């Protein structure tokens, strides 16, 4: 992806990429001691909010690759998240009984959770990506519901507790600020580099016009499945982080309303804008917490705010721009905005 600099206007005349890389690595390195500090100094409620925002960011950015950037309407993101969360939860709980916990172990389990998510993405993606628009949405939604039904029924796999309807509890809590921050950075940087590389144009091309993209020689199936698998991988990772942060898992947390929540983040942030997704994930996680004081009217106000936000900024908070782009640099909007026949 080294030749991307000349290819995209954003990079031209900016810092050389090694400087940015070094900066990112230093940032992640700082997060380690910072995380220790947070654990002892910040009040657990606030830390909980920060971690949940972090996990929401990973989910929103990864879904943005599928939904916003490639234009494939998926309602199954919570299902992929569940795959990762349960992989990690079951292994971590079983392992905690038989042995201790260590950093390489946790890294391994999180990676595995991501891989399981990605495999599910591949399995679901290859057949269903032949479907378009709402039909794809229904198929992925069905997948999410199937995962939920199966999870409520399975009590154990090969001697490892899964929990069934009661859920899995007392999972060792490995996750801290560092892990969420590090995985968040990996997710954002990976997807950023991917979509703003020369090859990454293919994802946008599919969203704008699949037939035209295919005519230009883009292997649409390959790119759609790629987007699906990468998105599902990070959803799995986010699930693993969530499981080992709260220490509890219940099948009900991964039903279609969870998927809908993530879709809302992507659209509200601006479909296709990565920084937009980050911003929206933070706002939509933080907002309901701030409304706790109004008690039972909380969700009424929240839903009204959601409608108003979409009416005021239909293109999302950032539209198709990234946070620091000027309007001129934005990728031009497709001309045909009238509903297609």
Partner 1 sequence: MQITAKTLLALLLIVVTPLGCKHKPGGGSGNDIIVGEYGSMTGTEATFGQSTDEGIQLATDQVNQAGGLLGKQVKIIARDDQGSQDQAVSVVKELINREHAVAILGEVASTNSLAGGQVCEKAKVPMISPSSTNPKVTQGKQFVYRVCFTDDFQAKGDADFVSRRGWKNVAVLTAADSDYSNGLATFFKEEFKSHGSVVADEEYRKDDRDFKPQLTRIKAASPDVVYVPGYYTQVINILKQARELGLTVPFVGGDGWDSEATLKAPQADGCFFSNHYSPDEPRLEVQEFVKAYRAKFNKIPDAMAVTGYDAARVLFDAIKRAGSIDPIAISDAIAQTKNFPGASGTITVDAQHNARKPIVMLEIRGGKTTIADTIPPQ
Partner 2 sequence: MQLLVQQVINGLSIGAVYALIALGYTMVYGVLRLINFAHGDVYMVGAVIAFFLATWFQRLGLPVWVNLSLVFLGAAMGCAALGFIIERFAYRPLRNRPRLVSLITAIGVSLFLENLFQQKMVFGARPRQFPPLIETRTAISFHVGHSPVAVNITNLDVINFVLVIALMIVLSWVVLRTRTGLALRAVSYRFDTAALMGINTDRIIAFTFMLGSALAAVAGVIDAMRYQVDPLMGLVAGLKAFVAAVIGGIGSIPGAVLGGLLMGLIESLLRGVILPSDYSGYADGAAFLALILILLFRPSGILGKYAPEKV
Which entry of partner 1, partner 2, none binds 292, CB below 5 to 8 A by partner kind? partner 1
For residue 323, what are the contacts with CB-CB under 8 A and spacing of at least 6? 275, 276, 279
Contact 322, 10 (CB under 8 A): yes
For the CB of residue 219, give the shortest distance to partner 2 in the complex, in Å: 17
DSSP state of 339: P
From CA 157, how far away is CA 161, in angstroms rounded?
Answer: 7
Residues 6 or more apart whose CB falls under 8 angstroms from that of 228 comprise 66, 72, 74, 121, 122, 124, 125, 129
Nearer to partner 2, 88 or 267 (CB): 267
Residue from 19, 20, 46, 135 touching partner 2 (CB under 8 A): that is 135
Return the one option of partner 2, partner 1, none that residue 324 interacts with (CB less than 5 to 8 A, by type): none
Rounded Cα distance between 247 and 17, Å, is 39
> Cβ of residue 240: shortest distance to partner 1, in angstroms?
15
Query: 259 to 288, contacts with partner 2 by CB under 8 A?
Result: 260, 263-264, 267-268, 271
Q: Give min distance, CB of 137 to partner 2, in A.
A: 7
Residue 166, binding choice from partner 2, partner 1, none, Cβ under 5 to 8 Å by partner class: partner 1
Residue closer to partner 1, measured from CB, 232 or 317: 317
Q: Are 318 and 279 in contact (CB under 8 A)?
A: yes
d(CA 74, CA 149): 19
Shortest distance (Å) from residue 36 CB to partner 2: 39
Residue 16's binding partner, choosing from partner 2, partner 1, none, with beta-carbon cut-off 5 to 8 A by kind? none
Indicate whether 12 belongs to the interface with partner 2 (CB under 8 A): no
Interior angle at CA 271, CA 311 and CA 71, nearest 5: 125
Choose the contact partner of 33 out of partner 1, partner 2, none; CB within 5 to 8 A by kind: none
Residues in contact with partner 1 by CB under 8 A are 43-46, 48-49, 52, 148-149, 152-153, 164-167, 169-170, 242, 246-248, 250-253, 279, 283, 287, 289-296, 298-299, 305, 309, 312-313, 317-318
217 binds partner 2 (CB under 8 A): no
CA atoms within 13 A on the CB side of 156: 6
CA nearest neighbour of 210 among 197, 198, 223, 200: 223
Least Å distance, CB 45 to partner 1, is 4
Task: Give the up-direction half-sphere exposure of residue 165: CA atoms within 13 A in the CB hemisphere.
Answer: 2
d(CA 66, CA 123) in angstroms, rounded, equals 15
Site for partner 2 contains 39 (CB under 8 A): no
248: closest CA among 92, 119, 65? 92
What are the contacts of 322-330 at 24+ separation with CB within 8 A?
322/10, 322/273, 322/274, 322/275, 322/276, 323/275, 323/276, 323/279, 324/275, 325/10, 329/9, 329/10
Instruction: Tell me, letter by letter, the H, E, C secondary structure of 165-181.
Output: HHCECCCCCCCCHHHHH
- In the set 12, 97, 293, 311, which binds partner 2 (CB under 8 A)? 311
Query: Which does residue 267 bind out of partner 2, partner 1, none, counting CB within 5 to 8 angstroms by kind?
Result: partner 2
Work out what residue 135 binds among partner 2, partner 1, none; the CB cut-off runs from 5 to 8 Å by kind: partner 2
Nearer to partner 2, 178 or 203 (CB): 203
**Which CB atom, from 6 or from 300, has the smaller least distance to partner 2?**
300
Residues that bind partner 2 (CB under 8 A): 67, 73, 127-128, 130-132, 134-135, 137-139, 141-143, 145-146, 148-150, 152-153, 210-212, 215, 256, 260, 263-264, 267-268, 271, 296-297, 299-300, 302-304, 306-307, 310-311, 314-315, 337-341
């Amino acid at each position: 992806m080294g030749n991307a600099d000349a290819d995209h206007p954003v990079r031209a005349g900016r810092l050389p990429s090694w400087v940015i890389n070094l900066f990112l690595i230093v940032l992640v390195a700082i997060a380690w001691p910072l995380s220790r500090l947070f654990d002892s100094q910040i009040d657990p409620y606030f830390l909980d909010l920060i971690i949940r925002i972090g996990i929401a960011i990973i989910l929103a950015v990864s879904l943005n690759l599928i939904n916003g950037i490639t234009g494939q309407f998926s309602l199954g993101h919570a299902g992929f998240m569940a795959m990762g969360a349960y992989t990690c939860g079951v292994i971590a709980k079983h392992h905690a009984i038989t042995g201790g916990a260590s950093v390489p172990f946790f890294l391994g389990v999180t990676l595995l959770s991501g891989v399981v998510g990605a495999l599910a993405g591949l399995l679901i993606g290859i057949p269903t990506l032949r479907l378009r628009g709402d039909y794809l949405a229904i198929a992925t939604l069905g997948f999410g519901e199937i995962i939920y039904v199966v999870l409520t029924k399975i009590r154990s796999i090969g001697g490892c507790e899964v929990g069934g309807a009661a859920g899995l509890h007392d999972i060792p809590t490995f996750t801290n600020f560092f892990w969420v921050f590090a995985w968040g950075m990996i997710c954002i940087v990976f997807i950023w580099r991917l979509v703003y590389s020369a090859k990454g144009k293919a994802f946008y091309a599919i969203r704008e016009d699949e037939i035209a993209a295919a005519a230009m020689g883009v292997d649409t199936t390959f790119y759609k499945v790629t987007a699906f698998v990468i998105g599902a991988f990070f959803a799995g990772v986010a699930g693993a982080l969530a499981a080992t942060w709260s220490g509890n898992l219940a099948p009900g947390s991964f039903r279609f309303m969870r998927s809908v929540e993530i879709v809302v983040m992507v659209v509200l942030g601006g479909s296709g804008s990565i920084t937009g997704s980050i911003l929206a994930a933070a706002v939509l996680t933080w907002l309901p917490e701030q409304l706790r004081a109004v008690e039972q009217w909380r969700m009424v106000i929240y839903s009204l705010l959601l409608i108003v936000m979409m009416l005021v900024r239909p293109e999302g908070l950032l539209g198709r721009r990234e946070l620091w782009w000027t309007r001129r640099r934005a990728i031009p909007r497709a001309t045909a905005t009238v509903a297609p026949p």
